[in-house]
């Protein structure tokens, strides 16, 4: 029986593609493929593959500015950093058609992959929670100045949402607050004013130090939330659109639990619950090697083929 091929356009001009694709990937694109025809935009591709979000900026800004239920035919990879592990490259986070975890397709579990990521030291996983009840509360916003989430007013990205989160903590917890800024965010005068107003310090800890010092972290769509949760930290999210985030199934939402005296054993996720979450992360995270050698494209092929009609095509004026 002849296999139905998918027409795939790979955007090679993207800066991250130039940095991170290897000769293996070039070779893959130049050979006959069992599952894909590698085509141009003019050939009306079924799907488009890139390491950058500019395709959405140009053609479907609603993906960036809202949580509207739009499933585009763009397969996007972004860096999903677990760089503290010496000698390991970052995994890449898959966004299939949308930034929204709620609106994307639910991918099947890859048997044994979660443990593989632990064994090969792509991800550190702690079997027990490390709850320091006299620790600090760390607010970890997304990149709030030029990142794509800045355009979505419901995320923990803009100054209004950062201040709102700090006020919630102040009203519900006696613990000190520290702000952990995204590495590509500059501390401008407005942010400094908020920090001074609420006596919030800047957090510059390493991840290992943060795991030992923090009572909890307030995270949203950046990597640090899943990262610390898997290391054994409590994770909160108070955004209205939390269901669209990568932390939607694991975050605590009850303001009262910001005060350690209100935290009960049943509020603390079990090892089994956190490993189940790691299994989700394992379906959404791939190494450069797995992308370059064709492993990812082979894995995603039957999923794309079965659900092809659910994706809306974006192919006009893409460069």
* pLDDT the model gives residue 250: 93
* 229 and 211 within one domain: yes
Q: Of 128, 101, 116, 129, give the one whose Cα is nearest residue 278.
A: 116
Instruction: Convert the pLDDT of each residue in 262-318 to its tens digit.
Output: 999 999 998 999 999 999 999 999 988 899 899 999 999 999 999 999 999 986 444
Q: Pick the residue with more confidence: 153 or 156?
A: 156
Largest Cα–Cα distance of the chain, in whole Å?
Answer: 68
* 208 and 293 within one domain: no
Contact present, 217 and 140 (Cβ < 8 Å): yes
* 290 and 267 within one domain: no
* 288 and 160 within one domain: no
Q: Pick the residue with more confidence: 273 or 52?
A: 273
* 178 and 272 within one domain: yes
Residue 40, domain extent: 6-107+284-309
Domain-located, residue 171? yes
Domain-located, residue 151? yes
* 273 and 143 within one domain: yes
Domain-located, residue 300? yes
* 225 and 147 within one domain: yes
Domain-located, residue 114? no
* Cα four-point dihedral sign 212, 213, 218, 224: negative
Tokens for 308, please give them.
Answer: 């092809």
| Mean pLDDT to the nearest integer, 13-37 | 79
DSSP 35-96: SEEE--GGG--SEEEESSSHHHHHH-THHHH------BSEEEEEEE--TTSTT-PPEEEEEE
Q: CB count, 10 Å around CB of 151? A: 17
Half-sphere exposure of residue 64, counting CA atoms within 13 Å on the CB side? 16
Contact present, 91 and 120 (Cβ < 8 Å): no
pLDDT above 50 (res 319): no
Instruction: Convert the pLDDT of each residue in 217-252 to its tens digit.
Output: 999 988 889 989 999 999 999 999 899 999 999 999
Give SS3 for 101.
coil
Domain-located, residue 189? yes
* 274 and 167 within one domain: yes
* pLDDT the model gives residue 309: 94
User: How many domains is the chain built from?
Assistant: 2
Instruction: Convert the pLDDT of each residue in 68-104 to its tens digit.
Output: 898 999 999 886 655 444 555 678 889 999 989 999 9
Half-sphere exposure of residue 69, counting CA atoms within 13 Å on the CB side? 5
CATH code of the domain containing 170: 3.40.50
Tokens for 37, please give them.
Answer: 């025809």
Domain-located, residue 167? yes
* 146 and 82 within one domain: no
Domain-located, residue 1? no
* 305 and 269 within one domain: no
* 290 and 255 within one domain: no
Average pLDDT, the chain: 87
Q: What is the pTM of this model?
A: 0.88
> Rounded to whole angstroms, what are the CA distances from 250 to 75, 131, 163, 208, 298?
25, 16, 23, 21, 29
Distance CA 81, CA 76 (A): 16
pLDDT above 90 (res 260): yes
**Sheet of 6-10, strands arranged across:** 36-38, 6-10, 47-50, 74-80, 91-96, 285-286
> Rounded to whole angstroms, what are the CA distances from 161 to 168, 175, 298?
11, 20, 40
Domain-located, residue 228? yes
């Amino acid at each position: 029986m002849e296999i139905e091929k998918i027409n795939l356009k790979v955007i090679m001009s993207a800066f991250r593609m130039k940095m991170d694709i290897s000769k293996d990937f070039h070779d893959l694109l130049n050979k006959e493929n069992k599952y894909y025809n590698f085509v141009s935009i003019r050939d009306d591709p079924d799907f488009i593959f890139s390491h950058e979000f500019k395709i959405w900026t140009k053609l479907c800004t609603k993906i960036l500015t809202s949580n509207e239920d739009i499933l585009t035919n763009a397969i996007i990879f972004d860096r999903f950093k677990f760089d503290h592990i010496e000698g390991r490259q970052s995994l890449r986070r898959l966004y299939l058609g949308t930034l929204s975890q709620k609106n994307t397709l639910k991918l099947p579990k890859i048997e044994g992959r979660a443990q593989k990521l632990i064994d090969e030291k792509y991800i550190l996983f702690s079997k027990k929670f490390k709850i320091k009840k006299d620790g600090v509360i760390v607010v970890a916003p997304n990149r709030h100045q030029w990142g794509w989430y800045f355009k979505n007013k419901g995320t923990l990205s803009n100054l209004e949402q950062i201040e709102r989160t700090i006020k919630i903590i102040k009203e519900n917890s006696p613990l000190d607050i520290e702000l952990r800024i995204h590495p590509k965010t500059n501390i401008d005068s407005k942010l400094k004013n908020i920090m001074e107003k609420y006596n919030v310090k800047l957090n510059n800890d390493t991840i290992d130090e943060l795991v030992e010092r923090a009572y909890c972290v307030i995270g949203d769509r950046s990597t640090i939330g899943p990262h610390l949760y898997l290391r054994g930290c409590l994770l909160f999210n108070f955004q209205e659109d939390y269901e669209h985030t990568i932390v939607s199934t694991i975050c605590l939402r009850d303001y009262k639990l910001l005060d350690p005296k209100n935290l009960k054993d049943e509020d603390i996720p079990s090892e089994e619950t956190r490993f189940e979450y790691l299994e989700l992360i394992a379906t959404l995270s791939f190494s450069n090697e797995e992308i370059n050698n064709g492993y990812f494209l082979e894995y995603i092929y039957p999923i794309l083929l079965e659900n092809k009609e659910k994706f809306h095509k974006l192919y006009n004026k893409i460069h």
